[in-house]
């Protein structure tokens, strides 16, 4: 890992036009990682830094300084380096669908991530599944490289930590998390506004949509907590699929269960699955992998083309009309 870090630093120093890419449906960890890297690279001299994400950050992330700088269109051949942050696999940026030459332009790629499902797609891979967030890894790198951490950088790094630890409530909240958070607060980050923006600010439409999720919640004979959202539920509540973020943690509160899963249509012809568990002997990344997804052992997900078909139970019907094995 140390050699990879040295190689990454050398590439960052030498490159003049750098593309920093976040994953689709961005959260505070991927956005915070990209922003922190950009803020520090600007201090190294005359560098053109572009932030890219196929999906625009939602309004809830407006508290992140500089978050309005993300674009979803660019010419990959104009860059001499690409850095992809917090993408658990090469396909999770979705830019390979938008640009055929995204991974074929011949420019080096630095892959910085903390997902166990990461397929080491980079020229340089700085991947640590034990890290609570990708912003934790960025913090380590900044310290190793003697890069400054001022208020804006501290804020976006702490936002990523809060996001991926569930505001310090998930099992990945370890001693390092608290130590890093304390240092970031010493450098100007304020935990209150970050936590409020991420976990304590929801419009009425979100509450109505979450009500639909909770109303449909059931417990299977295999001790799995499940719920379903159909496209029509968005119309009734005036919400959109992005507003489901966070509700899976409520399903995961049920005691003595194996894991929780929320399956939802996304109004774009896809079915998304979000999985959470509190069990140490359940590896959700393996379940998600069956559907082409991935993530962490205790928090994973997938997205496939298709729809939900309701008979006596729900089943996922993929775009080629074949039924997937997940039925509920």
Structure tokens at 43: 């201090």
Q: How far is CA 158 from CA 62, 235, 299, in A?
A: 15, 35, 20
Question: What structural domains does the chain harbor?
Answer: 2-199 (3.90.1640.10), 204-327 (3.10.310.30)
- Mean residue pLDDT of the chain comes to 92
304 pLDDT more than 70 = yes
**Of all residues in the chain, what percent carry a pLDDT higher than 90?**
78
Instruction: Quote the pLDDT of residue 322.
Output: 45
pTM of the model: 0.86
- Given CA atoms 7, 295, 268, 57 in this order, what sign does their dihedral have? negative
Q: Give the 3-state secondary structure of residue 174.
A: coil
52-66: pLDDT as tens digits: 999 999 888 999 999
């Amino acid at each position: 890992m140390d050699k990879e870090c040295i190689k990454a630093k050398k590439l960052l120093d030498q490159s003049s036009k750098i593309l920093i890419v976040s994953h689709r449906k961005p959260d505070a960890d991927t956005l915070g990682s990209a922003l922190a890297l950009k803020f520090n690279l600007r201090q190294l001299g005359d560098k053109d830094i572009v932030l890219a994400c196929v999906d625009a950050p939602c309004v809830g992330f407006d508290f992140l300084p500089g978050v309005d700088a993300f674009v979803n269109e660019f010419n990959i051949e104009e860059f001499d380096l690409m850095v992809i942050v917090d993408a658990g696999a090469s396909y999770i940026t979705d830019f390979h669908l938008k640009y055929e030459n995204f991974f074929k332009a011949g420019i080096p790629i630095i892959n910085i991530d903390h997902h166990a499902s990461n397929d080491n797609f980079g020229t340089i891979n700085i991947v640590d599944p034990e890290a609570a967030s990708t912003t934790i890894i960025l913090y380590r790198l900044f310290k190793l490289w003697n890069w400054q951490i001022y208020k804006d950088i501290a804020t976006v790094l702490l936002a990523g930590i809060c996001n991926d630890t569930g505001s310090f409530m998930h099992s990945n909240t370890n001693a390092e998390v608290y130590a890093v958070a304390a240092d970031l607060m010493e450098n100007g980050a304020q935990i209150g506004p970050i936590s409020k923006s991420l976990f304590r600010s929801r419009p009425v439409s979100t509450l109505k949509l979450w009500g639909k999720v909770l109303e449909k919640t059931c417990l299977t004979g295999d001790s799995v907590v499940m719920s379903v959202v159909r496209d029509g539920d968005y119309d009734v509540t005036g919400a959109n699929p992005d507003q489901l973020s966070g509700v899976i943690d409520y399903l995961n509160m049920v005691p003595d269960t194996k894991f929780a899963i929320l399956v939802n249509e996304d109004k774009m012809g896809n079915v998304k699955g979000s999985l959470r568990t509190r069990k140490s002997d359940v590896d959700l990344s393996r379940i998600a992998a069956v559907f082409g997804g991935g993530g962490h052992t205790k928090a994973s997900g997938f997205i496939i083309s298709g729809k939900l078909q309701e008979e006596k139970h729900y089943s996922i019907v993929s775009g080629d009309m074949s039924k997937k094995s997940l039925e509920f």
